[in-house]
Structure 1
Amino acid sequence: MSQPITVTHTLGEQILVTSGGVELLAYVYAPDPDPFEARKPYVHPLRTLAGGLVSGYRPNDHRWHKGLQLAAGHLSGQNFWGGDSGAGRGQGDRRSGDRVGSMRHDCFSDFEVTEDRLRFVERLTWMESGGQEWAAERRTVEVHSVEPAEGAWALDWSLHLINVRDQPLSFGSTATAGDEPAGCTGLHWRGPRDFAKGDVLGPGIPGDKGRTAAAQLMGTPASEAAWIAFTAEHDSNDTHSTVLFAHAPENADSIHASHWFVRSDPFPSVALSWAFFEEFELPPGESFGYRYRVVVADGAWDRDHAEDYLATHRW
């Protein structure tokens, strides 16, 4: 049975969702001040029902990593990820904002709150560093299945992106730009520092601390692993938390095959990468879409627990 939620919308800034006295998430759509970090909406903090923090914000190794956010490391020569992530091999570590794009929040075209569910539709514009409008996005975010008996709640994130330029948009990643195997693009999660060297598991992968399981899953196509999970023990107490990421079935028919970007060491990071190994083009006026689910749970889930949850919580 779902537990009631409370939604607090600070207009022009953020949306807070609480339940059982715990702030489960903040969806922040007011842009952060530094253009170098590719200003765009993000979700931070993300917390379990027991209050375990499972997202990181502006870590000192990658200031543009902000909880859960949609990003694009390499898009027609521009970087909608942040930093110099899309520079490519041999470009060096240079702080330059002349190729870092941004995502402008335009409006919420739909906003629905019931006792135990939030659903909103956001309209955004992707703009290159000079301010030209390149893409229009319709983003839908839903918070649901806040279930104390399961010790978990779910967030669904879907996107529909249309090319508004008069020429094709070329979607790639840091890997396609030459920085193997960093296929950074798509929906991206950065975990908190105490999740470093945590367990990673997926279909056929029982879980293993640190690099081993993450290395096995890095670059794995979604057609072979529709979900993965990340679990770790928190600092200062003896509790564990799990974050599970899943592709909706229809993603298999989208514009391009997706692959997993997974790191546990030296930092916790997962991306549902839509252009890991090769670029794809979106012609003018054309569009594509993807839908994802993120499950935030208390405890250290194993593979069977993750698969049972997904089997009983259908799309």
Structure 2
Amino acid sequence: MTLSLTHAHGDRITVAHEGTGTELFAYVYRPEAPWEAPKPYLHPVRTLSGGLVTDYRPNDHRWHKGLQLTASHLSGQNLWGGNTYVHGEGYLALPERVGSMAHVAFGEVSAAGDRAVIAERLTWHPHGGELWAEEERRIEVCDVDAEAGSWTLSWTSSVTNRREEPLRFGSPTTHGRPAAGYTGLFWRGPRAFRDGKVFTADSDGEDLMGSQAPWLAYVGEHDGRDGHATVVFEHAPTNDHAGDQGTHPAHWFVRSAPFAAVAPSWAFHEELVLAPGDTLDRTYRVLVADGAWDREQVAAHLKARTW
């Protein structure tokens, strides 16, 4: 199976599967509205048969854009977008706290055979524009399985603190709001995926909020066409971060109502503190599959693929 890549310079990179003619995803890196904390994102993301599995600027949260790396609370700034949660006051419009993640350059943009690679350098900024962090990002299509009707995206980000003081990664939950630990890699599913099925290797349902598991699957049903899609999020075993409170494993943020959303949060219950000059490394895989996969099917597929 062959992948192709089209680069509209200054705007986006599109990766397509030539066997099916499907555009698997677009990586959009041009900056958008300042209020939405400009940052690159993937949308649309599709299954091999063309089923849509991401949403873009929904009317409830305009800053939700497909699949993107976010930082909802970062040393008092909001690199997530929209209103900022303030304990005791709720979500407030505080534009002076809304920052950005800016594209700098691509180190590699390529497609050959069944692999496609986007390697990028980015900088992270508070609202005032100072340099707070530098990121090395690598997004790769690493496994196209036409027989299974699936493909896999890997995402690796290495974020280095360029401040002279620690960067404190948090979330609304670390700032006082229960069950709202969203930050880090964040997926917003299409409106049709509301009330979808969520499960891990051992558990089902939204009691998974704030829990830990090596992977989490979301099954949704399409609008406009028949059938389902399954999106599986998996974090690398190396993602534990040794911080000032010991290791810092991922916890899942997941909702199926009032909308579909998943994030392997890097600061759900406790802040993650990154010292000056230190680098935070995170690697994830996202499996995008046609059909409603069950627990056994997901587990068997993942077990056959090593890190």
- Whether the 8 Å contact between 2:47 and 2:150 is mirrored in structure 1 is yes
Aligned residues: 301
Verify: 1:279 aligned to 2:271, yes or no.
Answer: yes
Q: Residue 25 of structure 1 corresponds to which residue in structure 2?
A: 25
- Whether the 8 Å contact between 1:105 and 1:122 is mirrored in structure 2 is yes
Q: Residue 98 of structure 1 corresponds to which residue in structure 2?
A: 96
Q: How does 1:187-226 map to 2 (within 5 A)?
A: 187-205=185-203, 207=204, 213-214=205-206, 216-221=207-212, 225-226=213-214
Q: How does 1:177-256 map to 2 (within 5 A)?
A: 177-205=175-203, 207=204, 213-214=205-206, 216-221=207-212, 225-252=213-240, 255=243, 256=248
Q: Residue 128 of structure 1 corresponds to which residue in structure 2?
A: 126
Q: 1:289 to 1:254 in 2, by over 3 A?
A: farther
Q: Residue 249 of structure 2 corresponds to which residue in structure 1?
A: 257
Verify: 1:49 aligned to 2:48, yes or no.
Answer: yes
Q: How does 1:13-162 map to 2 (within 5 A)?
A: 13-19=11-17, 20-32=20-32, 34-84=33-83, 86-162=84-160
Q: Which amino acid aligns with 2:211?
A: T
Q: Residue 175 of structure 1 corresponds to which residue in structure 2?
A: 173
CA distance in 2, matches of 1:111, 1:314: 24
CA distance in 1, matches of 2:12, 2:172: 30
Alignment deviations for residues 37-96 of structure 1 (CA, whole Å, 9 cap, x no partner): 110000000100111000000011111100000001100000011111x42223344333
- Whether the 8 Å contact between 2:5 and 2:110 is mirrored in structure 1 is no
SS at match of 2:132: strand
Q: 1:54 to 1:81 in 2, by over 3 A?
A: same
Alignment deviations for residues 258-291 of structure 1 (CA, whole Å, 9 cap, x no partner): 1000000110000110000011211111111010
Which is further off, 107-116 or 182-191?
107-116
SS at match of 1:16: strand
- Whether the 8 Å contact between 1:17 and 1:24 is mirrored in structure 2 is yes
- Whether the 8 Å contact between 2:68 and 2:187 is mirrored in structure 1 is yes
- Whether the 8 Å contact between 2:241 and 2:280 is mirrored in structure 1 is no
Give the Å deviation of 1:305.
Answer: 0.5
- Whether the 8 Å contact between 2:100 and 2:125 is mirrored in structure 1 is yes
Q: Which runs of 5+ in 1 are unaligned?
A: 208-212
CA distance in 1, matches of 2:22, 2:109: 22
Which is further off, 239-248 or 173-182?
173-182
Q: Which runs of 5+ in 2 are unaligned?
A: none
Verify: 1:269 aligned to 2:261, yes or no.
Answer: yes
> Which one of 286, 290, 293 corresponds to residue 301 of structure 1?
293
CA distance in 2, matches of 1:119, 1:263: 30
Q: 1:35 to 1:91 in 2, by over 3 A?
A: farther
- Whether the 8 Å contact between 2:78 and 2:98 is mirrored in structure 1 is yes
Which is further off, 12-21 or 254-263?
254-263
- TM-score when scaled to structure 1? 0.93
Q: Which amino acid aligns with 1:7?
A: L
Alignment deviations for residues 88-132 of structure 1 (CA, whole Å, 9 cap, x no partner): 223344333100010010001223321211112110000000001
SS at match of 1:133: coil
**Amino-acid identity (%):** 51
- Whether the 8 Å contact between 1:108 and 1:122 is mirrored in structure 2 is yes
CA distance in 2, matches of 1:154, 1:113: 15
- Whether the 8 Å contact between 1:36 and 1:96 is mirrored in structure 2 is no
Q: Which amino acid aligns with 2:229?
A: S
